[in-house]
């Protein structure tokens, strides 16, 4: 172990990029049309991907990595360090906090409950949680599509990112406490009237899961998703503060220029829970999103509901706990982004699930890093291009919003 660490320390700062032949993690689709679509997808631009990750580190992240799985080959690229104290190099096998990628997991559980006829998407939330919300018109669909109008309590909780984080780092909240914080503020819009991203929606989603099943969200995630897909790096440990096994430490950028970043690795994430507390790895997220769009987690009808998208900006639409991003080459990808103190995540897959990307930077509270990490999508799915249309890309926005607008 000592010699291995010495060798790795000697190459810190260098990009690690490998191409491995591996078995597909899901059975290949057999239709000729989908086979042609997969064949038409350009090969990943591995040099371009590595360049983006170098730029992420240059912008201030201790480390950045990405893993692409196209069903027959896995491309891995990593840059920088996982731990500012030990100087251990970041790897694509490190576990990390996925933030709002958790929302897709929560949406899948609720859609499975719809498949089991235990929940109706267009039923009022108050049918299942009587008296919780002030408006009986707010439906389950409104929650999962961020169209409920419920105020996002994290706007106030993290108005000052470092002080706000330190105030809740070790706290354990009930779901009801988080919802009550939201309800103290006016709603942003009438139910169904507009898209407005709010973590409150997926806190209520967690309440629904626990009320309808009689089990914790941890149990439902494990039994319905983690175990069936063999996601061995994926955990919901709340209210424990630790990340099991080898992991990337996460660093919260200080609010004051020049101040040292805060190691945010250890935290309950109780302020988010079913909206953002899952821990995973790049391999597991690639597997999860590929399985989801291939129909391995819900019925075809429920997946179609999940993929009924509302336009958010020039390149992004939102369905039910699922994003669609349109890239410069005309390809659309499906997944979610995540921001939790110390970590930024992008996890997306193609419509047919044949190519998936997960990218991580182990920092947060940095618009420069967030915007740069978003650029991993282009080389991963569009391949080499003479023009990346970078100037047309929208400014990325956090979903845990210290000194930044809310995620769109």
152 vs 174: CA distance, rounded Å: 16
The C-alpha angle with vertex 267 and arms to 263 and 270, in degrees rounded to 5, equals 145
Which positions are catalytic? 100
**DSSP three-state, residue 228:** coil
33 vs 114: CA distance, rounded Å: 30
**DSSP three-state, residue 63:** strand
**CB under 8 Å to 380, separation ≥6 — which residues?**
44, 45, 49, 66, 68, 355, 357, 359
- CB 190 within 8 Å of CB 148: no
193 vs 139: CA distance, rounded Å: 12
- CB 268 within 8 Å of CB 238: yes
Residue 292 is encoded by which pair of tokens? 């989801």
**CB under 8 Å to 94, separation ≥6 — which residues?**
65, 82, 246, 247, 248, 281
Omega before 352 cis (within 30°)?
A: no
Residue 286 is encoded by which pair of tokens? 């690639």
Classify residue 160 by its DSSP letter: S
Roughly how many angstroms between the first and final C-alpha of the chain, as a whole number?
44
Nearest to 233 by CA among 219, 220, 249, 244: 244
399 vs 403: CA distance, rounded Å: 11
Q: Rounded to a whole number, what is the largest CA-CA distance in the chain?
A: 63
**DSSP three-state, residue 133:** coil
- CB 207 within 8 Å of CB 177: no
Residue with tokens 């799985």: 69
Residue 192 is encoded by which pair of tokens? 């169904």
């Amino acid at each position: 172990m000592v010699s291995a660490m010495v060798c790795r320390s000697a190459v810190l700062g260098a990009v690690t990029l490998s191409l491995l032949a591996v078995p597909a993690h899901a059975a290949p689709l057999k239709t000729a049309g989908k086979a042609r679509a997969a064949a038409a997808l350009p090969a990943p631009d591995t040099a371009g991907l590595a360049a983006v990750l170098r730029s992420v580190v240059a912008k201030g992240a201790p480390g950045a990595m990405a893993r692409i799985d196209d069903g027959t080959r896995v491309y891995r690229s990593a840059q920088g360090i996982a731990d500012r104290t030990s100087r251990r190099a970041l790897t694509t096998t490190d576990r990390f906090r996925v933030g709002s990628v958790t929302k897709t997991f929560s949406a899948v559980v609720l859609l499975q409950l719809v498949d089991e006829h235990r929940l109706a998407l267009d039923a009022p939330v108050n049918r299942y949680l009587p008296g919780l919300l002030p408006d009986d018109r707010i439906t389950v669909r409104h929650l999962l599509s961020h169209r409920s109008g419920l105020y996002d309590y994290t706007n106030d909780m993290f108005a000052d990112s470092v002080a706000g984080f330190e105030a809740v780092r070790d706290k354990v909240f009930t779901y009801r406490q988080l919802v009550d914080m939201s309800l103290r503020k006016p709603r942003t819009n009438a139910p169904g009237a507009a898209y407005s991203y709010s973590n409150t929606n997926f806190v209520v989603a967690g309440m629904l899961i626990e009320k309808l099943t009689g089990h914790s969200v941890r149990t439902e995630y494990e039994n319905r998703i983690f175990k069936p897909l063999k996601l061995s790096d994926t955990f919901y440990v709340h209210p424990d503060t630790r990340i099991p096994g080898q992991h990337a430490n996460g660093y919260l950028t200080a609010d004051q220029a020049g101040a040292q970043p805060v190691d945010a690795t250890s935290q309950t994430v109780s302020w988010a829970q079913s909206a953002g507390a899952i821990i995973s790895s790049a391999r597991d997220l690639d597997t999860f999103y590929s399985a989801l769009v291939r129909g391995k987690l819900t019925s075809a009808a429920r997946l179609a509901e999940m993929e009924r998208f509302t336009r958010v900006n020039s390149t992004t639409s939102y369905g039910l706990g699922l994003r669609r991003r349109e890239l410069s080459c005309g390809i659309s990808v499906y997944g979610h982004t995540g921001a939790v103190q110390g970590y930024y995540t992008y996890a997306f897959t193609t419509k047919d699930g044949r190519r998936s990307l997960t990218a991580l930077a182990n920092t947060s509270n940095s618009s420069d890093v967030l915007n740069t990490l978003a650029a991993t999508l282009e080389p991963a799915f569009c391949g080499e291009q003479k023009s990346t249309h970078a100037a047309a890309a929208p400014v990325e926005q956090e979903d845990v919003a210290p000194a930044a607008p809310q995620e769109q």
